[in-house]
A and B are shown apart, each in its own frame.
Chain A
Amino acid sequence: MPDPAPKRTIIEFRNITKRFGPVTAVDNVSLTIQEGEFFALLGPSGCGKTTLLRMLAGFETPTSGQILIDGQDVTKVPPNKRPVNMVFQSYAVFPHLSVIKNIEYGLKMEGVPAVERRERAEAALAVVQLEGYGERMPDQLSGGQRQRVALARAIVKRPRVLLLDEPLSALDAKLREELRFEMSALQDRLGITFVMVTHDQDEALALASRCAVMNKGSLMQVATPADLYEFPATRLVADFIGSVNLFEGRVEEDESDHAIIHLPEIGIKAWLDHGTGASETVQIWLALRPEKVELHKRMNGEGPPTMEGTPPGHNVVKGRIMDIAYLGSESVYDVMLEGGKRVRVIRPNLTRWDQEDFSWDEDVWLGWHAEGAHVLLS
């Protein structure tokens, strides 16, 4: 991933709150988005992400707070006078206008002369690879094609910011994956700032250069996809992005180059290759992604294996495989530890016989590297 160079702020939300009657949809959110970013608002349905986007587009007015685009306060500017355009979740392609008329609509509203209008609309059609579809009516198009029309109709206006409301959610899985790459390439080519709303974490991780995770109207964490996944700030984020195994624990030793954490739930000590800075008196959680857990055979009489980067006896625990789900590219193991705690483990099926290594009811050692786990304070 290229290192994003420091850029200008293009969008700024200042203490935005939106209430619908007694319901607070967005609760005091402040957020800045840089020019050229592909920014994703991610969260479960009803978390306020769509309301935030609709306020940016101008369809809703904040109850309090300010929205700035390019340094201009647009909080009270109507949507038809904002330098942003939107791709709707339902695409909202006008059913009574042909494809080319749909794309020209926005230019017509700007007063662009007919000839230039047609040229620019044709060019936009080419960008979304729909040359020759101009005279079709929307009901003659597939879902994916309609999505491209909606995209062309928005970018032909050359907006400062393109807004995407769950742009791929109405498409089937295969098409969705295809369009993901296309959107990414499109954004690179156009250099427009994209702001996308999605509830699909894969989509956000794959497309966005930065994500904001929202829950119940508030921002949980704003970070790059990799940071969200590897260094989630809270259990909520850790759990929402991918799946995670969580162990309650307490810090026993905290140095600058390592830390030891006691995990009473599973009766072992975990070794981390970095300090945590957490107080020894508070409860913390150890987050462990399923693919960062290793499985080892456990024969009678053999001691535990030593995990990479740790002194012997750390980061290893006994378990028994309860269930295996074969998913083709990988297999998911449901392992029960002594004491009843369940742990989820993912192993890639590197060869065609990999999935036969372990079987149901087999006794195993579970372990992870010194840099495999992450400490959460809340």
Chain B
Amino acid sequence: MSGGETDWKRAKTGFAALLGPPLGWFLLFFAVPMAVVWAYSFGTNVGISDIEISGTFANYARALEPLYLGIMGKSLAFAALATLICLIVGFPVALAISFAPPNLKTWLLIGVMLPFWTNLLIRTYALIALLRDEGLINSGLELAFGWAGFERLSLMNNNFAVMVGLVYVHLPFTVLPLYAALDRLDRSLLEASFDLGAGHLRTIWNIVLPLAGPGIISAVLLTFIPVLGSYLQPDLLGGPDSQMIANVIERQFKRANDWPFGAALAFMLMYLTLFGIALQSLLKRRERPE
């Protein structure tokens, strides 16, 4: 498969001209900043704005205190639950799109992708207008059941709102890879299952799910990783007890001004993310032994 590749030594100038600029940009504006954060995570505050890289593990030790461990656990739990809901909601949608006739399929795909292209902040803001105390849902319910002594539900500034927001924003991230996996399935395998006497549910359970396995795993990780690092939804929709790890990190930099601790927390999140990615590539490799 690498048949047409040229060895770099045969065209050093061309190679340098092609790879140089992107690699340079990556190193200077991504690798170096990340390395600095990593270094800061072993630093101590000296004075108001000076930081000394002292090689201390104190920041990590603090990050593992029950308070922060709790927030991390909560972030993981939020991410897991949001991913599960996205999967349950998204799977039937992906299934229907995969087997829809071509022209309908195009429209359904656009329908799923349009929110994906829409500004994240706008989408989160749109939810606020629905959920807040005097928002549309409460107004509507009031109009319908006001006579029965309806009391406003508190739908905003709590964990429920954060969960709705996380699912709302990330659902397209789940549907698209699921669709990609299901669309690759050989239809005749499904037909064979029916032909041999299985109904729809048994065909999905016995044939579709096992064969779409790698696609489902990648959908899970493509949803889980961004949800874990979510900042906007807990910030705008959540209450004081629904902060996720990203909000705590932000506070260290913008308000508490404890950069080394913030850096340590950021790298805790990085380690979790990298672990997830490593897991994915491992599973991927096991799925395709060739």
Contacts and interface: CB of A to CB of B under 8 A. Distances in A.
B210 A96 contact: yes
B182 to A, nearest CB: 15
Nearest to B199: A80
A84 B191 CA distance: 13
B65 interface: no
A88 interface: yes
Contact of A89 (B188, B196, B199, B210): B188
B193 interface: yes
Contact of B196 (A58, A90, A96, A105): A105
B192 A80 contact: no
Contact of B194 (A80, A89, A154): A80
Interface string A88-113: 11101011100000000110011000
Contacts of A181: none
How many of chain B's residues touch chain A, expressed as a range?
A: 10 to 19
B211 interface: yes
B47 to A, nearest CB: 62
B195 interface: yes
A88 B197 contact: no
Contact of B191 (A79, A81, A110, A157): A79
B207 A94 contact: yes
A153 interface: yes
Contacts of B206: 105
How many of chain A's residues touch chain B, expressed as a range?
A: 20 to 34
Nearest to B207: A94
Tell me the dominant secondary structure on chain B's binding face: helix
A155 to B, nearest CB: 12
A106 B194 contact: no
A186 B211 CA distance: 32
B202 interface: yes
A308 to B, nearest CB: 53
B186 interface: yes
Contacts of B207: 94
B192 A86 contact: yes
Contact of B195 (A57, A89, A95, A110): A57
Contacts of B202: 109
A94 B198 CA distance: 14
Interface string B192-233: 111111110010001100110000000000000000000000
B194 A58 contact: yes
A85 B194 CA distance: 10
Contacts of A360: none
Interface in A2-55: none
Most buried by A among B186, B193, B197, B207: B197
A58 B207 CA distance: 19
Contact of A80 (B189, B195, B211): B195
B187 to A, nearest CB: 9
Contact of A96 (B186, B188, B198, B211): B211
A103 B191 CA distance: 15
A71 interface: no
B189 A59 contact: no
Contacts of A242: none
Interface in A261-295: none
Contacts of B194: 58-59, 78-80
A157 B197 contact: yes
B195 A85 contact: yes
Contacts of A78: 194, 199
Nearest to B195: A86
Interface in B3-42: none
A80 B210 contact: no
Given A86-B192, A88-B192, A95-B211, A80 B186 contact: no
Nearest to A139: B290
Nearest to B210: A96
A59 to B, nearest CB: 5
B197 A90 contact: no
A80 B188 contact: no
Contacts of B196: 80, 85, 105-106, 109, 153-154, 157
Most buried by A among B189, B191, B196, B199: B196
A357 B211 CA distance: 62
A199 to B, nearest CB: 18
A59 B191 contact: yes
A95 B199 CA distance: 19
A92 B198 contact: no
Contacts of A58: 194-195
Interface string A71-87: 00000001111001110
A92 B189 contact: yes
A310 to B, nearest CB: 55
B193 A105 contact: yes
A376 B196 CA distance: 45
A80 B198 contact: yes
A90 B195 contact: no
A94 B189 CA distance: 6
A94 B190 CA distance: 9
Nearest to A54: B191
A240 to B, nearest CB: 27
B210 A110 contact: no
A58 B198 CA distance: 13
B210 A92 contact: no
Contacts of B199: 78, 80
29 contacts: A59-B191, A79-B191, A79-B194, A80-B195, A80-B196, A80-B198, A80-B199, A84-B195, A85-B195, A86-B191, A86-B192, A88-B192, A89-B188, A92-B186, A92-B188, A92-B191, A94-B189, A94-B207, A95-B189, A95-B211, A96-B210, A96-B211, A105-B193, A106-B197, A109-B197, A109-B202, A153-B196, A154-B196, A157-B197
Given A94-B207, A105-B198, 8 more contacts: A80-B195, A84-B195, A86-B195, A89-B188, A92-B186, A92-B189, A96-B211, A154-B195
Interface of B: 186, 188-189, 191-199, 202, 206-207, 210-211
Closest 6 A/B residue pairs (Cβ): A106-B196, A109-B197, A92-B192, A92-B188, A79-B194, A88-B188
